[in-house]
Structure 1
Amino acid sequence: MFQWMPKLPTAPFCPSEVQGTITIPRHASSWRKFLAFMGPGLLVSVGYMDPGNWATDIEGGSKFGYSLLSIIFLSNLIAILLQSLCVRLGMVTGQDLAQACRAEFKLPLNVILWLFAEIAIAACDLAEILGSALALNLLFHLPLVWGVLITGFDLVVVLLLQGKGFQWLEAIILGLVATIAFCFLVEILFAHPDWAAVAQGYLPQSSIVANSNQLYLAVSILGATVMPHNLYLHSAIVQTRKWQDAIPDTRTAVRYATWDSTLSLIAALFVNSAILIVAASTFHFSGNQQVAEIQDAYQLLTPLLGSGLASLLFGLALLASGQSSTFTGTIAGQVIMEGFLDLRIPCWQRRLLTRCLAIAPALLGLSLLGESGVGKLLVLSQVVLSLQLPFAIVPLILFTGNVKLMGKFANPLWIKILAWAVAGIITGLNLWLLSRFLF
């Protein structure tokens, strides 16, 4: 999908320097114009299949079979709604969510929102580090501490990619996401799930509310799926497309970009569903309902499925998941810093700062909890992300519903009601999740 795009100017991946660098072909067909919009949604989708999701999906599948597929499906619908609002904000106003906050809110509130957003970035990076380190441990038997330190060298990859253009990053992310999807497609073929039961799992399950442990896992899946940094990221990177000359109708351009994010999130739905389906088929129905850790799942896949390839593909998918999330986390950090503070620093400096803030708690956690504490640290990172989510959702709904800011593209009444209902549900469930986590 990249071959018809013109050669891009050299630029690092800082948001202000890639805005409008990918030109939509002016005289191409509608289909080719739509394909030229594909890319930003893919970068956003990796946040919905990062290592933080794996622990909840594996535990949910091993303990409760296919029933929590309905929660994964609901979470994905919520993600599609919120990311569509990000598309609308970025393309209509020419501002990302952080820039809109700086323009509309007073300084004290902006400082608070910026600090919360930075905490979310650090928590997300912690999950990526732990996921990548765990994959290196499983595939190459490297100690987790060494794996954590090695992940810091992905900074070198970011530096090498600087100057190649945003198109290169999208192509690399496409390759990593395709790797994850392929690995789990093969895993499902090994697992031989009951497809009738899988289909039933996507339907609402009353048992989830009745069982407090199942409800806890359901809320964890919801909290691990919708990421606050993705809202800032998406509203910025949709602006990489220079579409005004090719598509004078803003509504059409917004529709193309919304379809890009929707299709990408459907791919994320497949990956998250596949993780849970493999866990349910392999562990739950074989009597191994105690599996809750990623490393336990890796070790059991080979003897239960009868193929060493199953564990190898699982490890490769985990490594691809951690690395793809690493790249998008870097850009999200730049968006937040530039947007809230109007502070522009070189991308490698931003990456170094974020990575150090994540490596320190990862090493501390491993030293205190040992290698068996990886699962606890992953869950902790998702709880932190969940608590930051309302501080990104509420401004997004406020801005996209503001007629003065959005004009005729302001949210209609039914979207306002739906969006505020989602915000209220997520906030309430996250508070409940925090209380369960603490007490």
Structure 2
Amino acid sequence: MDAQSSDFARAWRSERGNPSLGEMFGTVRTAGRGSFWRKLLAFLGPGYLVAVGYMDPGNWATSLAGGSKFGYALLSVALLSNLMAIVLQSLCTRLGVATGRDLAQACRDSTPRWVSVPLWLSAEVAITATDLAEVIGTAIGLNLLLNIPLAIGVCITALDTFLILALQAFGFRWIEAFVVALLGVIAACFAAQIALADPDWGAVVRGFVPSGQLITNPEMLYLALGILGATVMPHNLYLHSGLVQTRGYGTSVQDKREAITLSTIDSTIALCLALIINASILILAAATFHKAGRVDVAELDQAHSFLSPLLGSAIAPTLFAIALLCCGLNSTITATLSGQIVMEGFLNWRIAPWQRRLITRTIAILPAVIVTVWAGEKATGHLLILSQVVLSLQLPFAVVPLVLLTASRAKMGIFVAPRWLTATATVIAVAIIGLNGKLVFDYVVG
């Protein structure tokens, strides 16, 4: 791209500013010497926090709807979505390691204020919408598991702000370990439920092969668009470009190349785990609801109530609720970290970590509490859908800068993304934005 053709191709501002997540910046030591596996182990972690965003409660709803309505046919869409995510997250890694800036800082340092301020506001809206969905998902999990009213459950989710602070006192690795442990619980819960459901594994394998029905069946196409469009969330792009800088890699070209490679492997492995869990949700819905003729299951509490009679086991709904609670808790933690990265990156604003995290959580909790108390628990489903529509509208403001920045040699130097990678990312970005645009249009016209 011509260095004169875009605001994004201008020289970096001379003042870089302090790094986001300053209290955790470069705190995780990496193995400068040793075997490949030892080095990789030091870089494993950020990808799993990013993967959490690809299996949030909003994704659960689309997977449940797709599996109950069309069986295993939409597994191919889940696979394609995951491949798209791998490409875009690899660009986040490249940007963070090569420039020493997260996406928020990069946008601030390469654009005039009249561009960076709207980008910041867009990112804040996206993170609020993301946090709102995660808060509702956690509250639903508490309600299903412990019968806690949703309004109270929403308020309880504020406590994870202090959980992050407590874990952070022991080091960022403890936050990563906590998230990975919850991911392990989620995977174990779905493994047990799928074992009870006993799906048709031949149909599962065939489901990963794209079907012509995706084009000819309007209903299937709509759900496929929903799965694709809801895959990449704006906050994940800011989050990943910041989290890779928690690693204490060197400053030489060789050190950075190695860091980019190892961090990309980390995120790829983690996103493959996210694919397994998302596919498990769809497989569970196909093997239970679709098989029993219940083709209209989309609500989380509805799925929970149907599992016991269909599987003939009282433990199945409990496992479902535990997995949902773990998923919601994980997602709220990562959304809070994203809020910190965006606030610090765009504004270079430094306040006490507990104040910053309480602010971002309060912004998400207030609408959920108001809607739950004012309109009743059933309204949370509509609020969840609305949050996904808001995310769709904000997505271009994160994806487009990411692709432009990583394609600019003026910004990236020798670490500029290869042309084939930029071209692939551009096609993916256009496709995702277009699909999200269609979903928003369909939502508006009813």
Q: Give the TM interval when normalised to the shorter protein.
A: over 0.9
Residues 18-63 of structure 1, C-alpha deviations (whole Å, 9 max, x = no match): 1111111233222101111100101111111111111111111111
Gap change, CA 1:414 and 1:248, over 3 Å in 2: closer
Which residue of structure 1 lines up, in the alignment, with residue 304 of structure 2? 298
Distance in structure 2 (CA, Å) of the matches to 1:366 and 1:111: 32
**SS of 1:345 mapped into structure 2:** coil
Residues 87-125 of structure 1, C-alpha deviations (whole Å, 9 max, x = no match): 111111111111110111110111100001001111111
Distance in structure 2 (CA, Å) of the matches to 1:135 and 1:370: 17
The CA deviation at 1:404 is 1.6
Q: Match for 1:365 among 344, 368, 371?
A: 371
Q: How does 1:310-325 map to 2 (within 5 A)?
A: 310-325=316-331
Deviates more, 1:73-82 or 1:373-382: 373-382
Supply the AA of the counterpart residue of 2:274: A
Which residue of structure 2 lines up, in the alignment, with residue 114 of structure 1? 120
The CA deviation at 1:247 is 9.1
Q: Which runs of 5+ in 1 are unaligned?
A: 1-12
Residues 254-311 of structure 1, C-alpha deviations (whole Å, 9 max, x = no match): 1111000000000000010000100111000111112111101101111100111111
Q: How does 1:247-262 map to 2 (within 5 A)?
A: 248-262=254-268
Which residue of structure 2 lines up, in the alignment, with residue 390 of structure 1? 396
Distance in structure 1 (CA, Å) of the matches to 2:358 and 2:259: 35
Identity in percent = 53
Which residue of structure 2 lines up, in the alignment, with residue 242 of structure 1? 248
Is 1:54 equivalent to 2:60 in the alignment?
yes
Gap change, CA 1:25 and 1:145, over 3 Å in 2: same
Which residue of structure 2 lines up, in the alignment, with residue 332 of structure 1? 338
Supply the AA of the counterpart residue of 1:107: R
Supply the AA of the counterpart residue of 2:128: A
Distance in structure 1 (CA, Å) of the matches to 2:113 and 2:252: 38
Deviates more, 1:260-269 or 1:285-294: 285-294
Instruction: Please tell me whether the aligned partners of residues 70 and 290 of structure 2 are also in contact (alpha carbons under 8 angstroms).
Output: yes
Residues 164-217 of structure 1, C-alpha deviations (whole Å, 9 max, x = no match): 211110110111111111111111111111111111111112212222222222
Gap change, CA 1:246 and 1:311, over 3 Å in 2: farther
Supply the AA of the counterpart residue of 2:426: W
**SS of 1:204 mapped into structure 2:** coil
**Matched residues, number:** 427
Which residue of structure 2 lines up, in the alignment, with residue 184 of structure 1? 190
Distance in structure 1 (CA, Å) of the matches to 2:268 and 2:183: 15
Supply the AA of the counterpart residue of 2:357: R
Supply the AA of the counterpart residue of 2:215: V
Deviates more, 1:329-338 or 1:154-163: 154-163
Q: How does 1:52-201 map to 2 (within 5 A)?
A: 52-201=58-207
Which residue of structure 1 lines up, in the alignment, with residue 209 of structure 2? 203
The CA deviation at 1:369 is 4.2
Deviates more, 1:14-23 or 1:32-41: 14-23
Instruction: Please tell me whether the aligned partners of residues 26 and 247 of structure 1 are also in contact (alpha carbons under 8 angstroms).
Output: no
Instruction: Please tell me whether the aligned partners of residues 393 and 436 of structure 2 are also in contact (alpha carbons under 8 angstroms).
Output: yes
Q: Match for 2:269 among 235, 258, 263?
A: 263
Distance in structure 1 (CA, Å) of the matches to 2:270 and 2:83: 12
**SS of 1:17 mapped into structure 2:** coil
Deviates more, 1:200-209 or 1:245-254: 245-254
Instruction: Please tell me whether the aligned partners of residues 136 and 142 of structure 1 are also in contact (alpha carbons under 8 angstroms).
Output: yes
The CA deviation at 1:253 is 2.2
Deviates more, 1:411-420 or 1:44-53: 411-420
Distance in structure 2 (CA, Å) of the matches to 1:22 and 1:246: 18
Distance in structure 2 (CA, Å) of the matches to 1:162 and 1:257: 21
Residues 125-155 of structure 1, C-alpha deviations (whole Å, 9 max, x = no match): 1111111110111111111111112212223
Q: Match for 1:376 among 382, 390, 396?
A: 382
Instruction: Please tell me whether the aligned partners of residues 223 and 383 of structure 1 are also in contact (alpha carbons under 8 angstroms).
Output: no
Deviates more, 1:47-56 or 1:216-225: 216-225
Q: Which runs of 5+ in 2 are unaligned?
A: 1-18
Distance in structure 1 (CA, Å) of the matches to 2:279 and 2:338: 26
**SS of 1:242 mapped into structure 2:** coil
The CA deviation at 1:387 is 1.6
Structure 2-normalised TM-score? Answer: 0.93
Q: Match for 1:285 among 291, 309, 315?
A: 291
Distance in structure 2 (CA, Å) of the matches to 1:429 and 1:224: 9
Deviates more, 1:426-435 or 1:260-269: 426-435
Q: Match for 1:344 among 332, 336, 350?
A: 350
Supply the AA of the counterpart residue of 1:50: D
Instruction: Please tell me whether the aligned partners of residues 366 and 374 of structure 1 are also in contact (alpha carbons under 8 angstroms).
Output: yes
Is 1:35 equivalent to 2:47 in the alignment?
no
Distance in structure 1 (CA, Å) of the matches to 2:275 and 2:218: 25
The CA deviation at 1:372 is 2.3
The CA deviation at 1:223 is 2.5
Residues 405-434 of structure 1, C-alpha deviations (whole Å, 9 max, x = no match): 212221222122211111111111111100
Structure 1-normalised TM-score? Answer: 0.94
Is 1:407 equivalent to 2:425 in the alignment?
no
| Over 4 Å off, 4+ runs | none
Distance in structure 1 (CA, Å) of the matches to 2:282 and 2:375: 26
The CA deviation at 1:368 is 4.9
**SS of 2:295 mapped into structure 1:** coil
**SS of 2:331 mapped into structure 1:** helix
Gap change, CA 1:195 and 1:148, over 3 Å in 2: same
Supply the AA of the counterpart residue of 2:117: V
Instruction: Please tell me whether the aligned partners of residues 14 and 331 of structure 1 are also in contact (alpha carbons under 8 angstroms).
Output: no
Gap change, CA 1:250 and 1:159, over 3 Å in 2: closer
Instruction: Please tell me whether the aligned partners of residues 42 and 170 of structure 1 are also in contact (alpha carbons under 8 angstroms).
Output: yes
Supply the AA of the counterpart residue of 1:52: G
Distance in structure 2 (CA, Å) of the matches to 1:32 and 1:373: 49
